[in-house]
Each structure stands twice: as structure tokens, then as C-alpha cells.
Amino acid sequence: MRFTLRHATRCVLPALLLLGLGAEVAASTLNQNVSWTINRAGTSTKYRVVAYGDSIYAGYNGSTISVAKYSAPTVDAEYLSATWNADIESVRRTKSGAVAQDVYKNKIVAERSYMQHSSTRVVTFEMCGNDGLQARTAFKNQNGTCNYKVLTDAEATCKTYVGQAMDYINANAYPGTKLKIIGNLYYPGYDADNTQSTCKDASTGATVKMQDRFLPSLARMNYWMCELARTKGFQCADNFAEFMGADIDTNGDGLADVDGLRYIPGETEQNYVLRITSTLRSTIRDASQHFTSASSSFDYIQSDDVHPTYTGTTVTSGLLGDTKGSGAPRATSFPNGKSPLWNQYGHERMGWRLSTSNPPAP
């Protein structure tokens, strides 16, 4: 019997921020900055993970005053603490609702001092999700002849600022930084987009399936995140594969679906997009039902159909200012490199994927 684990707490998104699938994405943004230290017994040595991004790395949960304590960067900090036998400070400099340009200019550039600190060993960032969401909303609201330019513009903007962000981090991060890594985009609301547009294609005069338009656009964004990472000294955590592909082989090609969907270093954009949108399209599943075996699945998406699920408590953030705190790790060791929760929540999965690139020593 299959079962689905859903996060117990569901929150209604305020109009201030992302309003969820199919609704307007507001221009307003909200800083949600957190510094949380994994305090490990028997050591006073401390290193830093710096994470820049939007509501995903923020651990957004629908609240303007709190976020998930264990969002992906802090989950990764637990893995690092165990590997390095050290205290790890997870610094999340994030702005919910921010597009790529905003993350780049007002977080990565304006708040570069956080990655310049001498304790920094890992710098990670994610962006472009709100560019995609805004383009999707604009497309869904179209009538008459479809204008695909809103999608191609989002792709171009994403590629531009991802490249600039990598160049800036390379030039400004503490020289002792051991790992620089980007997380790409999963597809929130994949099943909900399996419907026709209200606009009509100029060539055919017919409506188009929105999923068929959005998936290639997302694939091109993800390709360039990983390809630019490859050429600029970054690692790429393929969140699309981790969220959208099952941990089992459902199409009989000899690979777990998650492995088949991953970006292959050095492949062409054409080859990657073809694999995602055609060859392996049948293996893509909505992240609300991520199969970890043939008989069990977990929900990686909160009820807003946008943000990753999480476990544990929340911390104050946003309108009431930044949060600084510390606590013991939830687990002191990971014998197989995986927390018992690694595949049960969206943020746990994302944090684990970040950890697979962690260097063995600081």
C-alpha cells in the first residue's frame, strides 16, 4: 500500500508574497535572513556555509515572520558538521519573492561580506524561480494570440544573472572557500499545468498545453545553471531530478528515474532538453508524489504548490529582523551519508543533494 507523508502545518500565503499556483506573483519581496549554528559537542572550531537566494533557501512557509529552521542550507550544515567534526554556521541571506536580478544585486553583491568571512568554506545560491513563476503567470493570463516572449525573456534573464553571480562569487568569496554550488529549479505545479492555455498559437490557431510550453523553458534554465557551473568552477545540485524523478526505475531503462533525469556534464543544451521533454518525459512526476519505492511516496511540496516541505520547528525572520541562534545537530553521524529523513521532505532532499558535493575536509 502506498502512503504519502504531508507536512502537518499548512499556511495560507499572504498577498504580500508568492500567491501560489495560477495566481499573480506580487512584486513585493521580503528579506528573510537566518544565521543558525550547528553546535557539535566536543569542538569549538566553527566554519561557515553561506547561502544566497529567494524563498526556497529561506525556508518559506507562508509566514512573514518565521521560516523553517531546517531549510536546505542548514540541513547541509548538519552533514558538514558530521563530516568535519566541527560547528557549522549556516548563514542564509535570502529574499522571498526576489527575481534573479534582485538576488544577484541585493543579496550576493550587496551582502558579499558574509562570504568574505575567513570561516567561509561553502558558498551556495539559487535563483530564477520567481522569474519562471512570473513568466508562467503572465502566460496563463494571456488571451488572443499566445506571446511566448515572456518565457524566453525569463530564460535569458536567468542565464545572464546566474553567470554574473558565479563570476562575482568567484571574485569575492573568501579564498579558502572549498565548495561553490548552485541549486537548479524543480517544477512546482507540474500536474496543475496539464491543461490548455486561454491564448492560441499563431501558427495553428489552437490553444496549447501549458505544461508542454513551460517544461522546455524550465529545462533550458536548468541546463544553463548546470553548464555555467561546470565552466565556472561550481558544482550543480540537480533539484529537478531529485524532486521530479522517482528513486526507482519506472520505465525499464536500467536507471532509477532520478538518475536518468540528471544533467550530464558536458552534454549539449539540445540533448538535455530532448531527454527531459521527450525521451524521459514519462518518468517525470509531480513533486507532491515522490516515489521512494514502488509502494511508498512522500510529498515534497507544501500546500501552496510552490515551496518545499520541511520538518522541525521554525525560527523568527522577516519583518521582525534577522535571526541568530544555535542548537545541537539532530544526528551526530550519517553512516551511509544520508539522514533517516533524507528522502521524506523537500528541504531534506535538497540539503542532502547539496551535501553530496561537500569536500572531505575544511
* Residue 108 contacts residue 166 (beta carbons within 8 Å): no
Amino acid (one-letter) located at 329: P
Non-local (6+) Cβ contacts of 28 within 8 A are 16, 17, 97
**Dihedrals phi, psi of 100, to nearest 5 degrees:** -60, -45
Per-residue 3-state assignment (H helix, E strand, C coil) for 27-50: CCCEECCEEEEECCCCCCCEEEEE
Global pTM reads 0.92
Of all residues in the chain, the percent with pLDDT exceeding 90 is 89
**337-352 mean pLDDT:** 98
Mean of the per-residue pLDDT values of the chain: 92
pLDDT of the residue at 28: 81
C-alpha cell at position 295:
509502494
Whether residue 263 is predicted with pLDDT greater than 70 in this model: the reply is yes
Nearest Cα neighbor of 56 from 183, 161, 228, 223 is: 183
**Residue 18 half-sphere exposure toward CB, CA atoms < 13 A:** 31
Confidence label for 8 from pLDDT (cuts 50, 70 and 90)? very low
pLDDT of the residue at 317: 85
Nearest Cα neighbor of 353 from 206, 243, 251, 220 is: 243
Confidence label for 318 from pLDDT (cuts 50, 70 and 90)? low
Whether residue 12 is predicted with pLDDT greater than 60 in this model: the reply is no
39 vs 323, higher pLDDT: 39
C-alpha cell at position 145:
494570440
For residue 5, the cross-strand partners are: 298
DSSP classification of residue 207: E
